[in-house]
Amino acid sequence: QKEVEQDPGPLSVPEGAIVSLNCTYSNSAFQYFMWYRQYSRKGPELLMYTYSSGNKEDGRFTAQVDKSSKYISLFIRDSQPSDSATYLCAMSPGAGSYQLTFGKGTKLSVIP
Amino acid sequence: GAVVSQHPSWVICKSGTSVKIECRSLDFQATTMFWYRQFPKQSLMLMATSNEGSKATYEQGVEKDKFLINHASLTLSTLTVTSAHPEDSSFYICSATNQETQYFGPGTRLLVL
């Protein structure tokens, strides 16, 4: 079993839809969780990070962490064509200089 | 968010030559930087961890004599691909950490002919 599992998709949704992206993990040492967005041929862009169970909201994005189930989610409300990208979950035992363990990434297409 | 730059953004070189890629944290000091490689349609693969003023730590299977890493200051790390071969062609991405999380550079696309 891989440490971090993420459905690679591809996932296609119509513009305006709510998108749900998910990752599961097996290592209970992971305490810090991040979501990155990567456009084709670009470096990953940090969207959100959190270290506590529960929800964290930033604009149209909501990150959700359930440590008891080892399950994290990213919700995108009112999705836009510009949200079309690959979304990577990442996690680490702590903040700062720890190595990140990535999911494989989910490729999202938002259709106008 | 914090800004990390990479230079060059793309490079084409002949087989057998060496290529240097720079990674800079522009608005914060980074004691730790990471170097990744990404093949098409795959996730990032960590190559090495670079700490300012000390030797880099390489992941298993990454040749330290081929991928030379220097982290001479708190804002600059370099990756040199020595004697590059076509199989080294890839997308190389660095990241720099502040106290909270990692910020990635835009990546460098290397094509070895």
B-interface mutation test, from A2, A7, A42, A47, most B Cβ less than 10 A away: A42
Quick: pLDDT tens for B70-109. 988 899 999 999 999 999 999 999 999 887 788 999 999 9
Closest-approach residue (CA) in chain A for B39: A41
- What are the phi and psi torsion angles at A99 (to 5°)? -65, 145
Minimum distance, in Å, between the CA of residue B26 and any CA atom of chain A? 15
Q: Which amino acid is at A1?
A: Q
> B100, A45: Cβ pair inside 8 Å?
no
| Residue of A100, A104, A105 lying closest to B102 (CB–CB) | A100
pLDDT computed for residue B88 by the predictor: 96
Closest-approach residue (CA) in chain A for B107: A43
Tell me whether A40 touches chain B (CB under 8 Å): no
| Residue of B43, B46, B100 lying closest to A49 (CB–CB) | B100
pLDDT computed for residue B31 by the predictor: 83
Mean pLDDT of chain A: 93
> A88, B43: Cβ pair inside 8 Å?
yes
Q: Which of A85, A54, A77 lies closest to A67, judged by CA?
A: A54
> What tokens does B25 get?
């944290």
Quick: pLDDT tens for A7-24. 888 999 999 999 999 999
d(CA B92, CA B110): 7
